[in-house]
């Protein structure tokens, strides 16, 4: 179990129950809320037939079709690289992900769980902004594991103070030397936290308070 998952209150994990069965090759650390009301799930493996644009099949987002587009310049696509199929190289640009959501006025927070499979000299950078011009806030520290083939898998947890119509997420090169970083897969889960009466509402509110204290 990752340190990110351990950082979530046990009450939320219990409420979430069993995650939905959607999974892809490097979906190694799914959030406990996957498949629950108010959540979305989308992933990109950048295969030769779909190196950008809509996510791969099996996504769950009732609010619209997510999209990925590389920035102009600074990113290039390779059909094979590092022993893997369908890889983006990022030098000075970014991979830009647009995630539609539901602007729920009753929401007290939004959480974004991001998994990236990568190869390079330093951890990829992640940032994001909502249609309300709010920047994503990092919750806790990212969790990284080295895979058997030499690639790395990192999970981040971010939050917003409300639930926007959409957020734009940017995966960029964070290496101060400018050395190329390779991106093989991106998995994005989100959930809007809407308190309900009783135990579940109290537990979700506790998650929000705990997350804000850790930021």
Q: pLDDT tens for the chain, 215 residues: list them.
A: 455 555 444 434 444 444 454 556 799 999 999 999 999 999 999 999 999 999 999 999 999 999 999 998 899 999 999 999 999 999 989 999 999 998 888 889 999 999 999 999 999 999 999 998 999 999 999 999 999 999 999 999 999 998 999 999 999 999 988 899 999 999 999 999 988 765 444 455 455 545 444 44
3-class state of residue 81 by DSSP: strand
Residues 6+ apart with CB under 8 A from 187: 24, 26, 27, 30, 41, 42, 43, 44, 114, 115, 116
The model's pTM: 0.85
Q: pLDDT (tens digit, 9 = 90+) per residue, 178-191? A: 899 999 999 999 99
Tell me which residue range forms the domain holding 150.
3-214
87 forms bridges with which residues in the sheet? 78
Cα(40)–Cα(169) distance, integer angstroms: 14
42 forms bridges with which residues in the sheet? 188
Number of domains in the chain: 1
pLDDT value of residue 103? 82
Strand ranges, E, within 52-165: 67-70, 75-81, 84-90, 94-100, 109-119, 125-130, 137-138, 143-146, 152-160
């Amino acid at each position: 179990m990752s340190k990110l998952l351990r950082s979530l209150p046990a009450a939320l994990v219990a409420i979430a129950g069993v995650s939905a069965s959607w999974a892809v090759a490097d979906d190694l650390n799914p959030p406990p809320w996957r498949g629950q009301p108010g959540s979305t799930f989308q992933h990109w493996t950048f295969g030769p037939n779909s190196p950008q644009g809509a996510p791969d099949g099996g996504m769950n987002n009732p609010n619209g079709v997510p999209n990925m587009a590389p920035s102009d310049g600074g990113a290039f696509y390779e059909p094979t690289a590092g022993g893997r199929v369908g890889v983006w190289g990022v030098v000075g640009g970014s991979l830009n992900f647009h995630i539609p959501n539901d602007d729920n006025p009753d929401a007290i927070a939004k959480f974004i769980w991001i998994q990236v499979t990568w190869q390079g000299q330093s951890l990829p950078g992640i940032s994001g902004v909502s249609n309300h011009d709010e920047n994503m806030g990092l919750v806790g520290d990212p969790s990284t594991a080295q895979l058997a083939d030499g690639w790395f898998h990192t999970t981040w947890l971010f939050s917003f103070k409300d639930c926007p119509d959409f957020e734009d997420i940017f995966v960029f090169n964070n290496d101060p030397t400018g050395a190329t970083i390779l991106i093989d897969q991106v998995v994005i889960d989100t959930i809007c936290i809407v308190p309900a009466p009783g135990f579940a509402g109290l537990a979700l509110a506790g998650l929000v308070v705990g997350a804000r204290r850790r930021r």
